[in-house]
Amino acid sequence: MPAFAGMTVISIVTPAKAGVHLLPAELGKTARARYLAQMPIDPVTLTQQLIACPSVTPEDAGAQDVLTYALEAQGFEVHRFTDGSPPDGPVENLFAIRGQGAPFFAFAGHSDVVPPGGGWTEDAFHPRIDGDLLYGRGAVDMKGALAAFTAAAARVTAHKGTVALIITGDEEGPATHGTVALIDWMERQGHRPDLILVGEPTSSARLGDTIKIGRRGSVNMWIEVPGTQGHVAYPHLADNPIPALARIVSRLSALDLDQGNDWFQPSNLEVTDVETGNSATNVIPGVARARINIRFNDMQNGADLVAMVERIVAEEAPQGRVTARISGEAFLTPPGELSALVSDAIRDVTGVTPEFSTTGGTSDARFLSKLAPTVEFGLINATMHKLDEAVAIPDLYALTDIYEGVIRRVFA
């Protein structure tokens, strides 16, 4: 970026024409955020500001301060609170609301990002524009969507009903002190949206080609089979746990959970780890362990799957133990009002007719869907969680236009 005496370049691109926003170099991040909040919201500028905050879960690093100043300048009432304690917390959470009454539309997302890892072309938290691409951790997942929605909301300041943002700093982590805590807080305050749009990067080959109307559930299980350690030359004095664990793994791997349905692919169980911790060649181990993950559709539920695995383990190794963690249940928002208005907004801006999908990993929509019909739509996901994560600048502007179209349709 070009440099000028005593000045710092904050953004290079505006919707109308190429240009620069110049701010005094001595201004800190907070002051820059305040200054920018008083300007027309530009999604590229705001995305840059957010990327510059190294908000690796559970650290916020100022990201929600940036959002707060931008939202308050648009007439939002912003509520902030932290939840949890180390190592999974404390987690910063943000709820912003404008207007009152019905309809009540909420946008949801997360300001946290995954660690950048080594090997970036430049600093992952130094936003860099090269041609039509804006690089930086979170550009796609999902600071770009946060900026696009904030910019879109700034264009529709006069509306009946209520618009809100539900923003957590814990989506990429354990997800125990983020959206779950926000939902509890919202219920205590009497805030219950009618429709929710999550800004996850759902597009595949081009912006607008995919809307997620559901997600599969996920459960991790840790299986431990105890034995008796001993010398391999004296097996009668030991009890090898590996054969029992092998039978368990074999039975689990052979399971055919279901054949899927109209909206979901078949549920699948995967063995993700097997170990004994035994580094010696002449020792029978005293314990054998395995870890499995099941991604399941709405034909299953987490508790029943855990009970099934527990039965198999008990049959093959009566002393065996199963520890389970259900990350979330499957959910489905059947095609209807919400998916239709998002589809219409996408077609108006891009000419693309999106397909409805339930593929991919989990998201905080698994929690939000319990409040109201929930779908996900956002940027192209090709570089999320990768080195040199980048968003196409034209896509950021188009996404802003789409989100504006969604807002206007909700309040039409």
Catalytic residue among 60, 92, 170, 171: 171
Is the backbone peptide bond immediately before 43 cis, with ω within 30 degrees of 0? no
The residue among 139, 179, 216, 157 whose CA lies nearest residue 399 is 139
**Are the CB atoms for 171 and 179 separated by under 8 Å?**
yes
Catalytic residue among 60, 112, 316, 395: 112
- Backbone angles phi and psi of 372, in degrees to 5: -165, 165
The residue among 111, 71, 148, 225 whose CA lies nearest residue 401 is 148
The residue among 359, 166, 344, 346 whose CA lies nearest residue 260 is 359
User: How many residues are present in the chain?
Assistant: 412
The residue among 219, 239, 196 whose CA lies nearest residue 327 is 219
Torsion, Cα of 210, 196, 141, 408 (10° steps): 80
CA angle 333, 337, 343 (to 5 degrees): 90
CA 102 from chain centre, in angstroms, equals 27
In angstroms, the CA 390 to CA 244 distance is 48
112 noted as active-site residue: yes
In angstroms, the CA 187 to CA 255 distance is 40
CA angle 99, 100, 101 (to 5 degrees): 140
The CA-atom distances, in angstroms, between 210 and each of 207, 305, 313, 358 are 8, 30, 40, 10
The CA-atom distances, in angstroms, between 348 and each of 150, 155, 231, 242, 282 are 20, 17, 72, 60, 69
**Active-site positions?**
112, 171
